[in-house]
Amino acid sequence: NSHLLLCCPQLPNSSNHEKLFYHSISSPTPPSSIFSQTMAIPSLPLLLLLLVPSLTLLSPTESKLTLDYYNKTCPQFYDIIQQIITAKQISAPSTAAATVRLFFHDCMVEGCDASVLISSNSFNTGERDADINLSLPGDAFDLVTRAKTALELQCPGIVSCADILAVAARDLVTMVGGPYYNVQLGRKDGLVSRASEVEGNVARPNMSMTHIITLFDSKGFTVQELVALAGAHTIGFSHCSQFSNRIFNFSKTSDYDPTYNPKFAEGLRKLCANYKNDTSMSAFNDPITPNKFDNMYFLNLQRGLGLLASDQAMVSDPRTKVYVDLYAGNQSAFFQAFAHAMEKVSVYKIKTEGNGEVRRRCDAFNSINT
């Protein structure tokens, strides 16, 4: 029997182990057993056509990025990053998903410039304090802070926070089983971070698929790239508040969204019964292999195990379903498409010397007047 893992992960900076609720999809028995979690370490021509992402010419700023940007100025860059993320992922297995999410939320607003890392002050409310970003896990912020501190000791004033976040996201995807992809380096950290600019730039779980497709299209991303990027939900978790409308009082005729697998919905209703009083209650985005980056997320969508409304919408909408079905049946196709899409995200609206800086601290601009 396949087993669902409905989770209540630790809150950022919590010392508690994540807890897993094991629930057999074929059994009427509700989730009951709690265990401590440890890290879990078409024709060829047609397939190739489906895999090729839309190609865009590099802008002048993007062309300044290189793979070997720090080879001379900070030759220890990759080793330091690898040491930091390995230690962090082992101590907090939710770090991989947290960092990928943080990276994406950063890039979609103002570009990949570490603007989401800026702390708010009495003069400005930063992106990280926008409503949709309040649930960004603390482990990802902590990871970037640790890496920046270590790099400043070895190469002061050289490595940008934007590059740290981009490389950390890539390395963590690879560490939990996902594809490797190139990350060009040389981004500078942005000089603007406003919470008011976040809304409308990051997709919400309750948006219609048409709205989400339009949002991604406005940033130059295709429907195929949208679906591939959504595959990052193969790791990580979502708070009950993000899908509670699907499992409680859904309609006059059904307590829960009938597109859910009934056993899955039953488990979620029990798991999230007290979510209004305990806002930390959460569920794995992928209840089958929650800590492994694979194509199980797409298989889950076909089985009624899509956690968020936006997840389920992808298998219901014919514009996205074709790619859901492709990736569900071919993990290699998903990995290649995801890698291409992440490379494209990583150079979105980057900053260079003329409109950015290398911050001394990732959570603050270098100048108080910025």
Binding positions: 106, 109, 111, 113, 115, 127, 233-234, 286, 289, 294
Residue 3: active-site member:
no
HEC-encoded secondary structure of 142-201? HHHHHHHHHHHHHCCCCCCHHHHHHHHHHHHHHHCCCCCCCCCECCEECCCCCHHHCCCC
Cα separation, 101 vs 239, in Å, equals 14
CA of residue 83 relative to chain centroid, distance: 21
CB distance 93 to 85 below 8 Å:
no
CB-based burial label for 4 (10 Å; 0-12, 13-18, 19+): buried
Residues making up the binding site for heme b? 233
Residues making up the binding site for Ca(2+)? 106, 109, 111, 113, 115, 127, 234, 286, 289, 294
| Closest C-alpha among 248, 311, 253, 252 to residue 276 | 248
Instruction: Out of 23, 105, 239, 340, pick the active-site residue.
Output: 105
Cα separation, 351 vs 347, in Å, equals 9
Residue bearing tokens 């859910």 = 260
Task: List 71's β-bridge partners, or say none.
Answer: none
Hey, what amino acid is at 134? L
CB distance 173 to 293 below 8 Å:
yes
Cβ neighbours of residue 168 closer than 8 Å, sequence gap 6 or more: 81, 84, 85, 99, 103, 143, 144, 147
Cα separation, 350 vs 330, in Å, equals 32
Q: Which positions are catalytic?
A: 105
